[in-house]
Amino acid sequence: MKHKFLLRVLGVFSTLALLIAALPLAPVSAATLTLSPTSGPAGSMVSVTGTSVASSGSLVYILFNGANVATATVGGSGVVSGTFTVPTNLTRGTYTVSFLFTGGDSAASQAFTITPSITLASGTGYVGDSVAVTGSGFTPSTTVNFYLSGSTTPFATTSSSSTGTISTTITIPAAKKGTLSITANDGGATGTAPVNFIINPKITLSSSSPGVGDSITITGTGFYDGAVQIAIDSGAAVNAGVSVGSNGSFTATYEIPALTRGSHTLKVNDAWNNNAQVTFDIAQKITLTPNTGNVGTSVTVRGSGFNTTGTITLTYFGQSVTVTLSNGTFTTTFVIPGVQAGAYTISATDGSVTSTATLTVTTNITMSPTNNASTPGNVGQEITINGSGLKANDTVLVTFDSAQVTITPSPIVDSNGDFSLKFNVPATTAGPHTITVISGTTSKTFTFFVEGTAPATPAPLTPEMGLKAKQPVVFD
């Protein structure tokens, strides 16, 4: 009985073995997939290699996050190779890249990490430039900060879109000449790979058309180190008295030397011979010293930026004089004539260009004599008052301690704005007194001191004091 049971069991196993042997065998998958690189920004190119037991020549789909991004074929030795572009509509994170075979092999996959990236519209320029920046792969709708390499303080900020892209402009911060490495980060563990921006030196002038003798401000950026040297045209460099700061910038004040009218070049060097230059135009110019005064004031006129040789015609208060030029410059003087107070235009022309300046004439009222407590005047003393720069035809009033002084004829300002009058000090007490002169809206007050000690009694000339007359006195 026992033997019959064993025979039956052996028979069942034999039948199962025959059935298993008759079933078709599925091929064992040997597919592999390798990515290079395994991380990168959206839009970057990735190489894919692998192997497969699928039939030679069969089509292979390369899938990124389940979407077909490229195709390849199985080679004769089962090698698969190809490339694909990382989709640009995906944000930072880890995604699956896989093979999908059509020739009888199973899928193979590997992870790929999308990192954010930025691109600058320009890779070279100057401090202060506005540069367009685009980027992708950021966390959607979040703040994106821009950093200089090695800094933890952002110099610019923007926000990503709902798809993780950015499009903005950044202003290049102050830095020394050289290459800036710029990164962006949305707060993730890693930021973008650095992109480079090359900074070049640059200078700007506070005026593009200064005159000779003008003080201008020179601002420089993107220099490296050391003292600043300035040169005009091909002239010798002079020390500007300032040095380049730690951020590559400087500010210097420079007085324009004697130059002819026209275009000139100003060049700046640092200690490392990094340089920048800018063109400016010398404009014609006249200056008045002083530019404010009363009638009788002597005014010096200096001009520059005119024709190198020849003459200029200087016009002032209706008068014209000719002055000789020397290397485009001239100096002359005139005296303010009798005119009313106000602003007057002084002009100079060489026939090609004209320059003007404004001279302000002020009112002036003087009294003579003047005195003080130590050297007082006296009752009856004659006082002279002169005025200039006043309004023509205005009446002039004089008060002595608020009482009007009668002057005949009544003084009137003439057509040149001048007047002159005299009066005698009226009977008054000793001490200081106020004399006020009024003409239109102009007034001037003086203090006049009257003596307190009477003058000595005059002695007769003859006969001498203490002597009797020798001649008899005769009465008619």
pLDDT confidence tier of residue 7, bands split at 50, 70 and 90? very low
List CB contacts of 220: < 8 A, sequence separation 6 or more: 201, 202, 203, 228, 244, 249, 250, 251, 252, 268, 276
Domains and CATH numbers, the chain: 32-115 (2.60.40.1930), 117-199 (2.60.40.10), 206-281 (2.60.40), 285-362 (2.60.40.1930), 364-450 (2.60.40.10)
- Whether residue 210 is predicted with pLDDT greater than 80 in this model: the reply is yes
- Whether residue 316 is predicted with pLDDT greater than 70 in this model: the reply is yes
* Residues 363 and 324 sit within 8 Å (Cβ to Cβ): no
Using DSSP's 3-state secondary structure scheme, residue 12 falls into helix
Mean pLDDT of the residues in the chain: 90
- Whether residue 264 is predicted with pLDDT greater than 90 in this model: the reply is yes
Percent of the chain with pLDDT over 90: 79
pLDDT at residue 152 in the model = 92
- Whether residue 28 is predicted with pLDDT greater than 80 in this model: the reply is no
**Residues 46-75, mean pLDDT to the nearest whole number:** 94
First to last CA, the chain: 213
pLDDT at residue 203 in the model = 98
Listed range (47-51, 185-189, 396-400, 449-453) with the worst mean pLDDT: 185-189
66/95 Cα distance (integer angstroms): 9
pLDDT confidence tier of residue 469, bands split at 50, 70 and 90? low
pLDDT confidence tier of residue 452, bands split at 50, 70 and 90? confident
pLDDT confidence tier of residue 15, bands split at 50, 70 and 90? very low
Which of residues 463 and 381 earns the better pLDDT score?
381
pLDDT confidence tier of residue 234, bands split at 50, 70 and 90? confident
DSSP notation for 63-130:
EETTEEEEEEEB-TTSEEEEEEEPPTT--SEEEEEEEEESSS---EEEEEEEE-EEEES-SEE-TT-E
Q: pLDDT tens-digit profile of 29-43? A: 568 999 999 999 999
List CB contacts of 123: < 8 A, sequence separation 6 or more: 195, 196, 197, 198
Listed range (12-16, 55-59, 94-98) with the worst mean pLDDT: 12-16
**Residues 236-264, mean pLDDT to the nearest whole number:** 93
- Whether residue 394 is predicted with pLDDT greater than 60 in this model: the reply is yes
Q: Which of 372, 356, 360 is nearest to 431 (CA)?
A: 372
pLDDT confidence tier of residue 454, bands split at 50, 70 and 90? low
pTM of the entire predicted model: 0.69
**Residues 428-435, mean pLDDT to the nearest whole number:** 97
**Residues 396-411, mean pLDDT to the nearest whole number:** 96
* Residues 435 and 398 sit within 8 Å (Cβ to Cβ): yes
- Whether residue 21 is predicted with pLDDT greater than 60 in this model: the reply is no
Q: pLDDT tens-digit profile of 322-343? A: 999 998 999 999 999 999 999 9
Q: pLDDT tens-digit profile of 146-184? A: 999 889 999 999 999 999 999 999 999 999 999 999 999
Q: pLDDT tens-digit profile of 103-115? A: 777 778 999 999 9
pLDDT confidence tier of residue 26, bands split at 50, 70 and 90? very low
pLDDT at residue 12 in the model = 39
List CB contacts of 326: < 8 A, sequence separation 6 or more: 309
**Residues 64-77, mean pLDDT to the nearest whole number:** 94
pLDDT at residue 472 in the model = 61
Q: pLDDT tens-digit profile of 341-392? A: 999 999 999 999 999 999 999 999 999 999 999 999 999 999 999 999 999 9
- Whether residue 27 is predicted with pLDDT greater than 80 in this model: the reply is no
pLDDT at residue 18 in the model = 41
